[in-house]
Amino acid sequence: MERLLLWPASPLLSALAVYCITQLLFFPARQSIHRLLLSVARSIGGGLRLTARWLQSTAAMARARNREVLLESGRAEMERKIEQQFQRLQQGFSKDLRHYPELHQKLNGLVTRMEEDFLTTRSVPPEAPGWPTAVKAVTDVPEVGERASRKILLEIKRAAVESEKLALREYRNSTTRRHNILAALAPSWKQANTHAENMYALVSHALGFVTRIDAHMERYEKLRQGDVASERLLASSALTSLIIALLAVGVACAGAFLNFHLIALPMSELVPSGTRIVGVPLASVAALVVVLMEATAGLFVMEALGVTEMFPQFARLGADKRRVILVVAGVSLFCLACIESSLAVLREQIVDADLLLKQKLAASDVPAAATSSIPVIGQALLGFILPWLLAVVALPLQLLIQSGRHVFGRSVVAGISLAALLSRVVAHAVLHLVNAVTAAFDVYIAIPLQLEKLVRRPKNPPVTVEPVRMEDDEPAPRLMELPPPLRQRAARRHGSMS
């Protein structure tokens, strides 16, 4: 600090000398320094504002693009769902309603039979005409004394009574027959009822698809119209899907890690274990490759099955070719699972051999632990099952890629917007800082300024310091925008000035 002083022995005098020298230097250069500061402020602040504008426009473009992609993917998803529902509807019609004609025929036959039976029951046998009256008339005839006449009358009475009994029996028999026919109709009614219920269930099931298709179509229409609510729903759904997919992929990665460690050690028996690739043992690289191959085979299986749609080429392939790929990928996966299972068994053997070697090197007489086949079986099973579980990772992976794109896009937009805001804030800060520096400079040379004011007041008014303004600072309100009293005052002032 002392080096800066002109006279280190008297710092006050040195400071005074420095002050005077700077006053002499700065006062004549005042306007130039003001212009310099203004120029610096405009270049930095303007550059930052331009950057902010560019960032804002980029963010707007990215936002629009994200929205477009989001809606397009939503539409594609909805189209896929509608197509799926149509396929199910078709399958439902071809599967469920296949038996409809047969059912209809059965129902028709039943109705015809019931109608015939019913008509049969309607044929009532003729009632015995006046037999009771005739019997009563014969009974009411006064008893005659003549034997022959009496006998005739008795015969007539007996014949009348018998005829009445016969007619009554026939009537009862006929009624019983009709009742029997009606009783035999009951199962047919039940059958008809069952058939009708089945038909109702089938038709309802088919109509359920139609209801779902209607709902999907409604959402699809909203998406086509760019409905804001639907867009928000899609964005929220993308975030939820991303979280779920991340969890699932994380679990799958843990499985892959376990899988890798299961086969890394035995792999050293198959590949040169001393060789390394970028510092990593070749056995570990080979194990990693096997795990990745399992995941890839699983991916192809899922694609061929139509569960995932990550490769557009698969969609263009015919059913036969897809089936071939499915078989090849499935067989590969099975082979890899078998290989991994055998490697898991080999791993156990290597571990046992290492343990045995250490015991022999130590020449210890510790009895070997009782060997159990459970760990070997467990590792073999694990080695066989893990590849199949790893194959399913294709599903959350697709979800992760699809939803990750939207979430990443939104994050990018948010980042760009934040950068634009920061740029504007820094521009304003620079602007006000330069204004403050300018004012501080004037304060520093206040004494010569005041002297100049006293000397030159009548001729040249002192230069007023205009605060630095940027192009897109808020402009002064126009005359028409001012409230009426202020407008009148401003108009008067304007008139007096002119």
Q: Give the three-class secondary structure for 277.
A: strand
Q: Which of 9, 119, 362, 366 binds another protein (CB under 8 A)?
A: 362
Q: Which of 247, 357, 401, 455 binds another protein (CB under 8 A)?
A: 357
Q: Give the three-class secondary structure for 327.
A: helix
Nearer to another protein, 41 or 286 (CB): 286
Ordered alpha helix ranges (H), 306-393: 312-316, 319-362, 374-391
Residue window 277-296: x/- pattern of binding to another protein, with contact defined by CB under 8 A? xxx--x--------------
Q: Give the three-class secondary structure for 227.
A: coil
Residue 276 C-beta: closest distance to another protein, Å? 4
Nearer to another protein, 39 or 349 (CB): 349
Residue 281 C-beta: closest distance to another protein, Å? 8
The residues, ordered by sequence, that sit 6+ positions from 342 with a Cβ below 8 Å of its Cβ are: 380, 383
Q: How far apart are CA 233 and CA 218, in angstroms?
A: 14
Q: How far apart are CA 182 and CA 44, in angstroms?
A: 104
**280-281 vs 276-277, strand pairing mode:** antiparallel
Q: 457 to 496, contacts with another protein by CB under 8 A? A: none
Q: Which of 147, 316, 360, 459 binds another protein (CB under 8 A)?
A: 360
Residue 368 C-beta: closest distance to another protein, Å? 16
Nearer to another protein, 20 or 356 (CB): 356
Q: Give the three-class secondary structure for 276.
A: strand
Q: 240 to 279, contacts with another protein by CB under 8 A? A: 265, 268-269, 272-279
Query: What's phi and psi for 276, nearest 5 deg?
Result: -130, 150
Q: Which of 9, 119, 361, 369 binds another protein (CB under 8 A)?
A: 361
Size of the site for another protein (CB under 8 A): 20
Helix axes 374-391, 282-305, angle to 10 degrees: 50
Residue 352 C-beta: closest distance to another protein, Å? 11
Residue 364 C-beta: closest distance to another protein, Å? 10
Residue 282 C-beta: closest distance to another protein, Å? 8
| Interacting span for another protein (CB under 8 A) from 34-42, 163-171, 335-343, 353-361 | 353-361
Is position 122 an interface residue for another protein (rule: CB under 8 A)? Answer: no
Residue 357 C-beta: closest distance to another protein, Å? 5
Q: How far apart are CA 429 and CA 437, in angstroms?
A: 12
Q: Which of 350, 407, 482, 490 binds another protein (CB under 8 A)?
A: 350
Nearer to another protein, 281 or 387 (CB): 281
Is position 358 an interface residue for another protein (rule: CB under 8 A)? Answer: yes
Residue 354 C-beta: closest distance to another protein, Å? 7
Q: Is 358 exposed, middle or buried (0-12, 13-18, 19+ CB in 10 A)?
A: exposed
Q: Is 426 exposed, middle or buried (0-12, 13-18, 19+ CB in 10 A)?
A: middle
| Interacting span for another protein (CB under 8 A) from 103-111, 216-224, 246-254, 358-366 | 358-366
- The answer to whether 210 touches 89, Cβ cutoff 8 Å, is yes
Q: Give the burial string for 304-315 (b: 16+ CB within 10 Å, else e).
A: beeebeeeeebe
Residue 97 C-beta: closest distance to another protein, Å? 55
Residue whose C-alpha is closest to residue 464's, from 21, 29, 31: 31
Token couple for 195: 């058939």
Residues that bind another protein (CB under 8 A): 265, 268-269, 272-279, 282, 350, 353-354, 357-358, 360-362
